Amino acid sequence: MRLRMGTRGSPLALAQSGQTAAALSSLHPGLEVETVRIQTSGDRFSIQSPAEASALAQGTKGLFVKEIEEALAEGRIDFAVHSAKDLPADLLPGLAIAAYPGREDPRDVFIGRGGLRWEAAGAGTRIGTSSLRRRVQLLAAKPGLVMLPMRGNVDTRLRKLKDGLCDGLVLARAGLVRLGLADVPHEALPEELLLPSPGQGALAVEARQDRREVVDMLARLDCRQTRLEVELERAFLQEMGGGCSVPLAARARLRGAEADFSVFYSEPDGSRPVRLDEVCRDLSQAEEFARGLAGRVRSRR
């Protein structure tokens, strides 16, 4: 049997989709997985500012999956592999997440030039990141930092750091691990300082709901803990109507039959920030819990 797997063409996307394909093939001997690279709107266009991103229907999130979902809906590919944090709040009708493989460490990391440590980063330190979520939370901790837009793949950003275009980078640790760059000196930033994006560190394997055979094959990759955590985070994202145009963060941590849940939300300029730490005691009611939490966030702003 042969399945066509859709993915973005970035080094990270190819690395994580390749790892997913290898895991799937090991579960289904004889299965061949063809990689289909699809250029997305997010790859073609660089959103230069939060203001431009907010003009898009779902911020920049939908831009990194739009064309891949369209290919999936039209039957040009059989399944797709995404970074879960790139998924918009709502999937294209008729599509579903067949599997969330085991999650990597969802934390962000600080990589300093010349051995610079986060605790030593003071006023005037230039931090490379284009993430509004990171920018707002880090400036709340150290208002004197200078935030510089920093786009491109991980290797490009590391090269810019080495060339002195910034003093430090903030990246997702999962990306370093999946690219085989975990040995690059870095500091994992505590979630009390910098809460991650919903779904960060997780992969989402998407398929058409009417392709039951494909869905059942992919389901063997599913990790229950990852699914419960990410779906709770995405439920909050959906309730807040969030994309990349607002500083929104969410992190669920499964603990037995419950989940500790932390969220962050503010205006794009960082004003009126709200952080809440709650416990979801009934995971079967995750959507209702997320709806109530979103209401509490709005009432405190």
Q: Cite the active site residues.
A: 86
CA distance 79 to 246: 29
Q: Helices (H) and strands (E) in the chain — how many of each?
A: 10, 14
Q: Indicate left, alpha or beta for 78 from its phi (over 0: left) and psi (-120 to 50: alpha).
A: alpha
In one-letter notation, the amino acid at residue 132 is: L
CA distance 190 to 99: 28
For residues 84 and 78, the answer to whether their CB atoms sit within 8 Å is no
CA distance 95 to 208: 4
CA max distance for the chain: 58
CA distance 196 to 66: 23
For 26, residues 6+ apart whose C-beta sits below 8 A from its C-beta are none
Q: Which of 139, 131, 281, 257 is nearest to 198 (CA)?
A: 131
